[in-house]
Amino acid sequence: MEYVAFSIAIIILFGLLFNKLFNKVKLPGLLGMLVLGIIIGPYCLNLIDKSILNISGDLRVIALIIILLRAGFGIHMESLKKVGTSAIKMSFIPDVLEGLTVMVVAHYLLGLPLVEAGMLGFVIAAVSPAVIVPQMLSFIKRRMGTAKGIPLIILTGASVDDVVSITIFSIFLGLYGGQQINYFKEILGIPVSIALGIVMGLGLALVLVYIFKRYNIRASEKTLIVLASAILLKNLGDYLNSWVPIAALVGVMVIGFVILEKMPEVGAQLSEKFSKIWIFAEILLFVLVGAEVNIYLAASFVFIGLAIIGIGLIARSFGVYLALMGSNLNLQEKIFCIFAYIPKATVQAAIGAIPLSMGVASGQIILAIAVIAILFTAPLGSFAVRIYGEKALQVEE
């Protein structure tokens, strides 16, 4: 028990320190936390208690829930109406193009069978809300790019992007296991799962709004109620997934959105509270993601991995440009959106090891390239968004 407390103390204190140090030298703070996770993780100094590593996946999911709630509390209905079409196209066109491109390239460069290359493609394709959402919320707060709804397009598109990636990854995993796959049903399942997630999030949010209006509850208690409810929604979605696919994480974002629409003052209070909780959740998320990184495994595939990831990012960039055709964004703003769709971290850490654990022949390769994608794209994308966003996004009058 004492060693668990020691591990948490190390993660918090050094997480804050590395965040500050990396920010000082103009590098993304999250890179510092990832590096810390690698250093104190099981593959280096091994300072994190095993019991924490055993629940690392659950802790990372809770951190992801917090960031998606924050995203929901940053979305206004009027803004959403303006960017609806662009956000929908951004949610699947870049992801599918990148995933298929990585599949073909990995098939030829690594000699992987197409099914295994497809798994790799859609492990790599998912963009990271944990990296992108805080930065977009910062731009929204400063009203940068909000006249054209640019941060909102990225916020909503990136969140659904993950659902698309995980669903297609699951199809390839099923094909490898010899399952009979109904392609039409699986592809149709993507919009169905998103719709069911929205309905569940809407229903839960309306219940919470009713409770908050009827009873006098302090803002801190409301925050805990919303967080616990969102975690239960995610667990319920996971439980029901064996019968019907449900994008519960999209529902989590809907909770914040509905509360903000129905109770603007309460929504603003909760947004502020979740911003403070995120300080701790962010450290936990990125340090534990770093701790999952087997640098020895990644090192053996670094050059070919970077080539595959780089070609995939070129395809994703073309997908972003394609999705934004016909919008009112200028070239600089489209380039900013391309940069915003570079970072990968959360999904790669969550599902990168699944093929290996299920006995897929190229599981080690898939995990290694997922790790390289985190280390390469998370800091690169975060840095590019922060620097280029200041230049490309106009402050709304």
Q: What pLDDT sits at residue 72?
A: 85
Over residues 250-289, the pLDDT tens digits come to 889 899 989 999 999 999 999 899 989 988 988 988 888 7
| For the chain, percent of residues with pLDDT exceeding 90 | 40
Please give the residue range of the domain that contains residue 157.
59-397
Q: Per-residue pLDDT for 396 more than 70? A: yes
Q: What is the pTM of this model?
A: 0.80
What's the average model confidence in pLDDT over 73-98? 83
Q: Per-residue pLDDT for 127 more than 80? A: yes
Over residues 130-149, the pLDDT tens digits come to 788 888 988 988 899 888 88
Q: Please, which pLDDT band fits residue 247 given cuts at 50, 70 and 90?
A: confident
Q: Per-residue pLDDT for 224 more than 60? A: yes
Q: Per-residue pLDDT for 361 more than 70? A: yes
Q: Please, which pLDDT band fits residue 77 given cuts at 50, 70 and 90?
A: confident
The total number of structural domains in the chain stands at: 1
Single-letter amino acid code for the residue at 387: I
Q: Which whole-number Å values give the CA distances from 44 to 48, 53, 366, 396, in the listed order?
A: 10, 14, 22, 47
- For residue 297, give the H/E element and its range: helix 295-299
Strand partners, 203: none
Strand partners, 144: 395
| For the chain, percent of residues with pLDDT exceeding 70 | 95
Q: Per-residue pLDDT for 174 more than 80? A: no
Q: Per-residue pLDDT for 382 more than 60? A: yes
Q: Evaluate whether 370 touches 115 at the Cβ level (below 8 Å).
A: no
In a domain, 171, yes or no: yes
Q: Per-residue pLDDT for 190 more than 80? A: no
In a domain, 13, yes or no: no
In a domain, 127, yes or no: yes
CATH of the domain at 121: 1.20.1530.20
Q: Best-predicted range by mean pLDDT among 47-51, 55-59, 165-169?
A: 47-51
Those residues with Cβ within 8 angstroms of residue 64's Cβ, 6 or more apart along the chain or in another chain: 129, 130, 249, 285, 346
The better pLDDT of the pair 101, 176 is held by: 101
Looking at every residue in the chain, the average pLDDT score rounds to 87
- Return left, alpha or beta for 296; rule: phi > 0 is left, psi -120 to 50 is alpha, else beta: alpha
In eight-state DSSP terms, residue 395 is B
In a domain, 14, yes or no: no
Q: What pLDDT sits at residue 60?
A: 79
Token look-up 């995120």 returns: 278
Q: Per-residue pLDDT for 397 more than 60? A: yes
Q: What pLDDT sits at residue 129?
A: 82
Give dist(CA 121, CA 110) in Å, integer: 13
In a domain, 317, yes or no: yes
Over residues 305-322, the pLDDT tens digits come to 999 999 999 999 999 999
In a domain, 283, yes or no: yes
Least trusted range by pLDDT, from 85-89, 159-163, 315-319: 159-163
Q: Per-residue pLDDT for 171 more than 60? A: yes
Tokens of 77: 């209905």
Those residues with Cβ within 8 angstroms of residue 17's Cβ, 6 or more apart along the chain or in another chain: none
Q: Best-predicted range by mean pLDDT among 22-31, 94-103, 140-149?
A: 94-103
Q: What pLDDT sits at residue 346?
A: 72
In a domain, 190, yes or no: yes
In a domain, 99, yes or no: yes
